Amino acid sequence: MMKKTGEGAEITGNVMLDVAGLELTAEDIERLKHPACGGVILFSRNYDNPQQLDTLVSSIRASSPTPLLISVDHEGGRVQRFRDGFTCLPPMAWLGQCYDRDAEKALQHARELGWLMAAECRMVDIDFSFAPVLDLGLGVCDVIGNRAFHADPDVVFLLAAAWMHGMHDAGMAAVGKHFPGHGAVTEDSHLDLPVDQRDIDVIMKSDVRPYVSMFSEGLEAVMPAHVIYQQADEHAAGFSHFWLQQVLRDQLKFDGVIFSDDLSMAAAESAGSYATRALAAIDAGCDMVLICNQPQAADEILHAMEGYHSAESQRRLQRMVAAQNIDLAGQLSGQRGNKAVKLADEGVTAIAMEQTA
């Protein structure tokens, strides 16, 4: 467990895709060998137990001639891809509730749960999770819902930063999402193209605030939302020069990784064919594009991205490779691990009781 992604070697591909199931198929292996493939995102269908997952990850790494980033959406709450054999984590809104009662204790909780999530994922050689969520919990967007820490952007920052520092304790980089904010739209971007009608000044002073503070704390990566912010740009943020270049790079001076959200989502359809979507996202400023649950679309995107090279993206993507030589097995079986698991159980129980009340 916890093998090296590739000491001294760089992530050279700019496409992150998925694989079919618990073991690799011949088609999976062909895609992993493609020079444009730079990473894999895992889903619940890829998981049966920790040993099987560890074997699958080893097979993925062995199938590629170049190093790959291996990732997962493992936030806690309803977005947790691995269940049996992993600790069940509470949704981030529980930490927000804790903060309203005892801020100092909530920040300690956030760091320990961020560490626990990252440590368990690192034990099966996963580089990073697409977390934390920085969207505001405004009670408007069901797809965000209790995935958000809090409605107050300053509290979101404090809790997310503590969570991120816990991830860093385990050697894992963090990804803030969904820039500049998905919390104020009702539509689910998996199914529709949401349009946020708010003035840009409102968005910058509220939704973007946690990002500004997180950048100063060392946030390594951002995932933009498949949402159109109509007062700012006609394009969804993930395809927008305005949001990715003018705001993120130029105004906010962010020099980390920009991952596209999944290009198979309904909200991405407005950008054209799969190949066109990928090229538009890269042109807007993304360093790596994600394509999930659509194998033929992955082939189309790999073909479109063949020959693409960006030294800047390579440099940034290297930051997502997990740190090595941390004794996570000992920590997980020791006092820190035991306390963190009890804390997670406490949060899950509290949320369950709240939902049945």
Q: What is the pLDDT of residue 193?
A: 82
Percent of the chain with pLDDT over 70: 96
* The pair of three-digit structure tokens given for residue 121, joined into one six-digit string: 């994922």
With b meaning 16 or more CB within 10 Å and e meaning fewer, what string describes 286-295?
A: bbbbbbbebb
> Per residue in 69-111, pLDDT tens?
999 999 999 999 999 999 999 999 999 999 999 999 999 999 9
Q: What is the pLDDT of residue 7?
A: 47
Could you give the CA distance from residue 16 to residue 12 in angstroms, rounded to a whole number?
Answer: 11
pLDDT at 6 over 80: no
Q: Catalytic one among 73, 125, 152, 261?
A: 261
Q: Catalytic one among 48, 190, 192, 241?
A: 190
Is residue 82 within 8 Å of 306, Cβ to Cβ? no
> Per residue in 327-355, pLDDT tens?
999 999 999 999 999 999 999 999 998 88
Architecture of domain 15-356: Alpha-Beta Barrel (3.20)
- pTM to 2 decimals? 0.95
Share the mean pLDDT of the chain.
94
Which residue do the tokens 């997962």 mark?
A: 72
DSSP per-residue letters across 91-152: PHHHHHHHHHH-HHHHHHHHHHHHHHHHHHHHTTT--EE---B-----S--TTTGGGSS-SS
Q: Which amino acid is at 87?
A: T
Q: What is the pLDDT of residue 2?
A: 47
DSSP per-residue letters across 235-276: SBGGG-HIIIIIIIIIIS---SEEEEEETTSGGGGGG-SHHH
Of 119, 169, 80, nearest in space to 332 by CA: 119
pLDDT at 41 over 60: yes
Could you give the CA distance from residue 160 to residue 111 in angstroms, rounded to a whole number?
Answer: 9
168 is catalytic: no
Which residue do the tokens 């560890």 mark?
A: 54
Q: What is the pLDDT of residue 131?
A: 98
Q: How much is the average pLDDT of 12-30?
A: 98
178 is catalytic: no
